[in-house]
Amino acid sequence: MRNKWIDLWSLIRAGRPSIVMLAVSIFSALISVAGTLWFPLQTQRIIDGLGLGNNISTEIILLIVTLVGASVFSAISAFFLAKVGHRIVAELRCVLTLKMLKLPIASFDKVGSGERISRVVRDCESISELTTNQAVNLVTGLLLLSGSIVVLVLLDVRLTITLLGSIIAAFTVMIPVSFLLDGLSRKVQDRAARLSDLLNHIFSEIRLVKAFTAETRESQRCQREIEDLRRLGMRVSTINVALEPIISLAMTVAIIVILISGASRVARGEITIGTLTAFILYIFNVATPLAQLTNFSAELQTAKGASSRIQEILAEVEEFTPVSSPVNLSGQILEFRNVAFSYVTDQRAVLVDINMCFKPGTTTALVGVSGSGKTTILSLIERFYLPTKGEILYGNISISEFPLQLWRGKIGYVAQNAPIMPGSVRDNITYGLDIEFTNQQVISAAERAGALDFIERMPHGFETLLIEQGNNLSGGQRQRIAIARMFLRDPDILILDEATSNLDSETEYQVKSALDALMRDRTNIIVAHRLSTIMDADQIYFLDSGRISGVGTHHELLTSHIYYARLVERQFQKRKEPAFTEPIS
Ligand SMILES: Nc1ncnc2c1ncn2[C@@H]1O[C@H](COP(=O)(O)OP(=O)(O)OP(=O)(O)O)[C@@H](O)[C@H]1O
């Protein structure tokens, strides 16, 4: 079990709080608290002075200066603490985001993106709440409480005991209620997060929802969450509604108790009327910090939970990358030697005894039924995962020995759905490339990818913003943007996960010619779905349940591999009746 205090403290330290700002803030808080402590005493002097018929104008000016000064310094203190707090959170969010980006893909298989977003947004916010508002309250509250008690004891011990007794009695009632409230508030937070997760899923898959006319079903699913949230919210409000009269009743009782016992002592001449007034004013100086401290303890629990979750992520092992590259990373043979692989989330063997060879200047197609392990092979080449057994070699050196950035920089990956990142067309074409490209280079890449025409027709050309997931682009246009990116990247190894979706013949022709140009003189590895691609390949690996069951050219496999022949017939000659009925694997 991790120590939550250490987790929280190390996170706050990781946020690199400014010592100077903290010092300014605490110094201002001290001045403000001194003013707040002083003003009841000043009021006492004014009242007692009035009773004695003294001139009190200087005292009144002093009171005003004290009150205004206390407020100004309280604001300065709160401002600087807030500044420190926000810096801590911003720093934490950056550290956490960078850390998550450095985690291996396997880590994302275990924890979904929704939960990760919640760590960066919500958990960091809890720590922000603690380090900004709550820390301000804690510092000023503790100072005010201890200072008030000292002044009260100096003024009158008996009345102090009466005042503290009545306030503590009131808080004894309030503390369990506020803990109940805290538990409920946390439930509200969790349910709100569930609702936002659900909404996130629904809206990111809005096409699926609409295609299956599932609007009513999804809206009912949301309604259930919204209803639960409403019920919880109502319970919080009911308790709050009950708590407020309890607090004001407790304060009234405390004032009445002080007034009664104080008045009798004034009558006996043991204290002045000014002292009694000061005591009444101090009730607020004692009660307010106590309420703040109760709140602080609840927020502290939330922040401790949040910091443990954040620390869990920070403790995860990042992708391994050696620091130096021993060889020239170009034009070498890429080879799989006895590779086996299983995903950590599912111990099943996904790849078994894979031996493959990809030569520079050739095109290799990976073919097989869905789930046979083609994409997994691409992921291993990209080093998204490490083989469970065996080795992947480049120029006879294990690819795990190359610095990750250098290795991935040699590879160009055109994914099936050609993902688009938020930003302009230009940003997307130059995505992930460190070198600055001239406009002419970007235009030429777009032209070679067959994308220039449609980009120029867009409202702002290369500066047109592509909305989320490239929804303002067609599938073929997205692919051509991805191909243009590859022309700039100029990789040695080109990996293509061919789109399964059908493009119209004109677009397919454009994409194919762009790809042909891109593939020239590279090591091309294609997960192939189109017959034309397969026929053009120099060699084909046929995958069957994670094993290679055939290798050769299209014509060789057609005659030697019955499953290949059947797959070709079934997948690519769809107009004909399938020639067989039994499953392929
Ligand atoms: N992230 C993952 N975690 C666990 N299992 C996975 C993961 N990705 C894929 N698998 C499993 O590994 C096996 C091979 O999947 P893979 O995606 O490599 O197949 P594929 O041949 O590319 O399929 P398709 O042609 O449908 O894309 C499948 O059984 C799949 O369920």
CA-closest residue to ligand 1 atom 8 = 376
pLDDT of residue 324: 67
Instruction: Tell me the ipTM for this assembly.
Output: 0.97
Does 112 contact ligand 1 (Cβ within 6 A)?
Answer: no
Does 74 contact ligand 1 (Cβ within 6 A)?
Answer: no
Q: What is the mean pLDDT of residues 303-324?
A: 80
Specify the DSSP class assigned to residue 501: S
Q: How far is CA 86 from CA 96, 519, 585, in A?
A: 15, 49, 57
Question: Measured from the CA of 368, which atom of ligand 1 is nearest?
Answer: 21
Cβ count within 10 A of residue 302: 21
Q: Is pLDDT above 70 for 2?
A: no
Backbone φ, ψ for residue 53 (5° rounding): 75, 25
Does 346 contact ligand 1 (Cβ within 6 A)?
Answer: yes
What percent of the chain shows pLDDT beyond 70?
92
Q: Sheet holding 346-358: strands in order across?
A: 346-358, 334-343, 389-394, 397-398
Cβ count within 10 A of residue 137: 21
Tens-digit pLDDT profile for residues 538-552: 999 999 889 999 899
User: Looking at the annotation, which residues are catalytic?
Assistant: 498
pLDDT of residue 584: 41
pLDDT of residue 246: 76
More confident site: 324 or 311? 311
| CB environment 53-84: b (16+ within 10 A), e (fewer) | eeebeebeebbeebbebbeebbebbbebbbbb
| CB environment 532-568: b (16+ within 10 A), e (fewer) | ebbbbbebbbbbbbbbbbbbbebeebbeebebbbbbb
Q: How far is the CA of 314 from the centre of ligand 1 (A)?
A: 28
Query: How many Cα atoms are found within 13 Å in the side-chain-facing hemisphere of 368?
Result: 23
Measured in whole angstroms, how far is the alpha carbon of residue 572 from the centre of its chain? 43
What is the bridge-based pairing of β-strands 389-394 and 363-368? Answer: unpaired
Q: How far is CA 280 from CA 37, 50, 163, 461, in A?
A: 13, 18, 9, 72
547 DSSP β-pair partners = 544
Q: Is pLDDT above 60 for 178?
A: yes
Q: What is the pTM of this model?
A: 0.73
- Which residue has 């060699």 as its token pair? 539
Q: Is pLDDT above 90 for 364?
A: yes
**Torsion sign across C-alpha atoms 345, 349, 352, 356:** negative
pLDDT of residue 1: 47
Does 528 contact ligand 1 (Cβ within 6 A)?
Answer: no
Cβ contact 302:123 at 8 Å: no
Question: Measured from the CA of 376, which atom of ligand 1 is nearest?
Answer: 18
Q: How far is the CA of 280 from the centre of ligand 1 (A)?
A: 72
Does 350 contact ligand 1 (Cβ within 6 A)?
Answer: yes
pLDDT of residue 3: 65
Average pLDDT of the chain is: 83
Q: How far is the CA of 197 from the centre of ligand 1 (A)?
A: 25
CA-closest residue to ligand 1 atom 4 = 343
Cβ contact 99:313 at 8 Å: yes
Does 376 contact ligand 1 (Cβ within 6 A)?
Answer: yes
Rg from Cα positions in the chain: 35
Q: How far is the CA of 350 from the centre of ligand 1 (A)?
A: 8
Measured in whole angstroms, how far is the alpha carbon of residue 133 from the centre of its chain? 22
Testing ligand 1's pocket by substitution, the residue of 350, 498, 571 carrying the most ligand atoms inside 8 A of its CB is 350
pLDDT of residue 4: 63
548 DSSP β-pair partners = 543
Find which of 62-66, 108-112, 345-349 is predicted with most confidence, using mean pLDDT: 62-66
pLDDT of residue 583: 39
- C-alpha angle with apex 254: 252 to 258, nearest 5 degrees? 115
Closest CA to 14 of 94, 119, 88, 101: 88
Name the strand (E) or helix (H) holding 369: none
Q: What is the mean pLDDT of residues 454-483?
A: 83
Q: Which domains does the chain have, with CATH numbers?
A: 1-154+292-319 (1.20.1560.10), 414-490 (3.40.50.300)
Q: Is pLDDT above 80 for 351?
A: yes
pLDDT of residue 72: 94
Specify the DSSP class assigned to residue 449: T
CA-closest residue to ligand 1 atom 5 = 343
pLDDT of residue 387: 95
Q: How far is the CA of 374 from the centre of ligand 1 (A)?
A: 8
- Which residue has 């869905």 as its token pair? 370
Torsion of CA 95, 99, 100, 106, to 10 degrees: -170
Q: How far is the CA of 108 from the centre of ligand 1 (A)?
A: 15
- Burial of 164: CB neighbours in 10 Å, binned 0-12, 13-18, 19+: middle
Q: How far is the CA of 371 from the centre of ligand 1 (A)?
A: 5
More confident site: 117 or 297? 117
Testing ligand 1's pocket by substitution, the residue of 354, 376, 543 carrying the most ligand atoms inside 8 A of its CB is 376
Measured in whole angstroms, how far is the alpha carbon of residue 573 from the centre of its chain? 46
Question: Measured from the CA of 543, which atom of ligand 1 is nearest?
Answer: 21
Instruction: Work out the pLDDT band at 89, boundaries 50, 70, 90.
Output: confident
User: The tokens of 165 are what?
Assistant: 């007794």
Q: What is the mean pLDDT of residues 242-256?
A: 78
Q: 3-state DSSP call for residue 3?
A: coil
pLDDT of residue 498: 76
Q: How far is CA 353 from CA 374, 390, 546, in A?
A: 14, 8, 9
